[in-house]
Structure 1
């Protein structure tokens, strides 16, 4: 991936997520060297970025960290297309984080993922800070194709904390 492509992805990420839900430019770019990290893009015939997905591939599961669609093309089905293709190629469970369903927008996002077959797990979860100065963010985990047991959830959470967020639970 060249710098121009990365810059377009980061610009869309910055426009789509608050600072508490994304890394700095340098922090995000560093992830490109991680063998578990993968960026998937959708472009039009003019090579204009329409959407991207940032995912982590682990031996036990896959984790969708970010998915964003250009505001001009939102509602056109591109996000569902990317997620459906990712689900179809996966032989492993898929996890993602969502906000608590206490706003209309959060409920709409959860419904979007439920239509794709994801299920909301009942366990408590917080996203570790992605930037200095940010705090832990209470979120929920959704999983495909089924809800995890408490033991599975704890194992997946430990892998996320160790590999994605580079923290241990004891740092909270």
Structure 2
């Protein structure tokens, strides 16, 4: 199952972009993702990368992330709906985090129902831990409000200083505000 081909996407001209874009749009609500012109712009940022995971030459998922000297921020992880719940998320994310020597950070919705509970359990099963930092993700769109999210980190919690660095990076670089 974990015999994937990993293809780094550089821009919207990539032959896999349309498949990536479809998975991205069906996996995240509008307030948790970019629109097309924002996505084409973010590809220009050197810290940003999208790794598409292919099986039988079809994209089955992707990780979109940001690399700094102090941490990796996984902004989006998604598996195509047709193969969800078959272990692909773990098969993709586990080797990704295990190759890192610096903390890996991601955001999830607070646990409010069975779906968000399962999502937290998924990340915890891979060694992520929930942090106590009160965290608001800046909005992707001007008309939206900041979004209260939980911060998860691997392999351990992060201190207040690293959280501050992450929060500033999120605001100034990821969201460009």
TM over 0.5: yes
Equivalent residue number for residue 109 of structure 2: 99
Equivalent residue number for residue 6 of structure 1: 17
Equivalent residue number for residue 47 of structure 2: 36
Equivalent residue number for residue 134 of structure 1: 144
* Aligned-residue offset at 1:118: 0.6
Equivalent residue number for residue 88 of structure 1: 98
Equivalent residue number for residue 128 of structure 2: 118
Alignment of 1:59 onto 2:59: no
Summarize deviations over 1:61-111 as a string: whole Å, max 9, x none: 000000110111001111111111111211110000000111111111111
Alignment of 1:22 onto 2:33: yes
Instruction: Show structure 1 runs of 5+ residues with no match.
Output: 168-172
Alignment of 1:145 onto 2:160: no
Instruction: State the secondary structure of the residue aligned to 1:143.
Output: strand
Give RMSD over aligned pairs: 1.2
* Aligned-residue offset at 1:151: 2.5
TM-score (structure 1 length as normaliser): 0.92
* Aligned-residue offset at 1:39: 0.6
* Aligned-residue offset at 1:3: 4.2
Instruction: State the secondary structure of the residue aligned to 1:66.
Output: strand
Report which of the two has the higher share of helix. 1
Equivalent residue number for residue 170 of structure 1: none
CA distance in 2, matches of 1:139, 1:160: 13
CA distance in 1, matches of 2:104, 2:154: 5
The runs of at least 4 consecutive aligned structure 1 residues that moved more than 4 Å come to: none
Q: How does 1:60-75 map to 2 (within 5 A)?
A: 60-75=70-85
TM-score (structure 2 length as normaliser): 0.89
Count of residues in Structure 1 that have an aligned counterpart in Structure 2: 166
